[in-house]
Structure 1
Amino acid sequence: MDKGISYEKIAKNREKASKKWKDTLCPKIKKLLQKNVDKIGDCIPIKANDRHYQISCYDGNQYSVDLEMRTCTCRIWQLSGIPCKHACSAIFNQNLQPEDMVHPYYNVDTYKQVYEHAILPISGQTLWNETGLVPPLPPNFGRGPGRPAGARNREPDEPNVKTTKIM
């Protein structure tokens, strides 16, 4: 059996998303977002205008958050699509919900769309038609590029014995 995702797992994920998940966000993403919301006590948002904030943290670092572009200078929000603690601080200061600022690919609807199509199984290799073509050969891993290493010129009084490293 192939070591990739099995048909059973795809069907199970499809059922799980359609029957169990009632929120707009996937459960793991909701937990990650909640962890960031729990950490906003470390951040002091200073409003520059309606979309820009300077976030001062108790560790002395300062970050810039742009709510319209959904960016933070810590880059966690851009890389993950989930608002970082600095962004959550600015979002709450703006009286918005952090769930609305998460990237759409973490929505349950997007997850359902990904798993809605079935991957149809194929018959086993014994039932495949014979093509009459020459089967492909494995790649040739011959000599690598570059000049081959040569033997070192030894001094006349040096023994001609190879030494082995002991580890």
Structure 2
Amino acid sequence: MLEGIRTNLMVRMANRRVAAWKWKRHVGPRIEQIMEKNKLEAGYCIPTLSGDMKYQVTNMHRGQFAVDLATKTCSCKRWDLCGLLCPHAINCILRRKHDPYSYVDEWYKREPYLK
């Protein structure tokens, strides 16, 4: 039974490695789906520059948040906890005309996934 489980895991990991080379971006399709959902929610945020890379973001539904792009933190703690951008951070990054995918934690990108 253990040998069967080991074989199934080995095949599954090999299939995922092959699929990773077909990703459209440098992050996986599930992460891309989460990012696109957060981009839509970012439309409800209004960022105000409060420093070099710091913003105060007013969300129409949930109050105010502090975003620091230099340290990759947001006061909602979503970005800090999982490494994926929250809508507040995405809005600030788009305001600076940068690519939000470059701010995603390295663990979600193709190269570490293949390792």
The 5 A counterparts of 1:24-103 are: 24-59=26-61, 61-103=63-105
Greater relative contact order: 1 or 2 (C-alpha under 8 angstroms, separation 6 or more)? 2
* Aligned mates of 1:14, 1:91 — CA distance in 2: 30
Q: List structure 1 runs of 4+ shifted beyond 6 angstroms.
A: none
Q: Taking structure 2 as the reference length, what is the TM-score of the superposition?
A: 0.89
* Aligned mates of 1:83, 1:76 — CA distance in 2: 7
Percent identity, aligned pairs only?
32
Q: Taking structure 1 as the reference length, what is the TM-score of the superposition?
A: 0.63
SS at match of 2:71: coil
Structure 1: state its 5+ residue gaps. 114-167
**Structure 1 residue 50 displacement after superposition:** 2.2
Deviations 1:51-103 (A, max 9, x none): 10000111251000000000000000011101100001111111111101000
* Aligned mates of 1:25, 1:76 — CA distance in 2: 18
Structure with higher Rg: it is: 1
Matched, 1:17 2:20: yes
Structure 2: state its 5+ residue gaps. none
**Structure 1 residue 11 displacement after superposition:** 1.5
| Residue identity in the other structure for 2:96 | Q
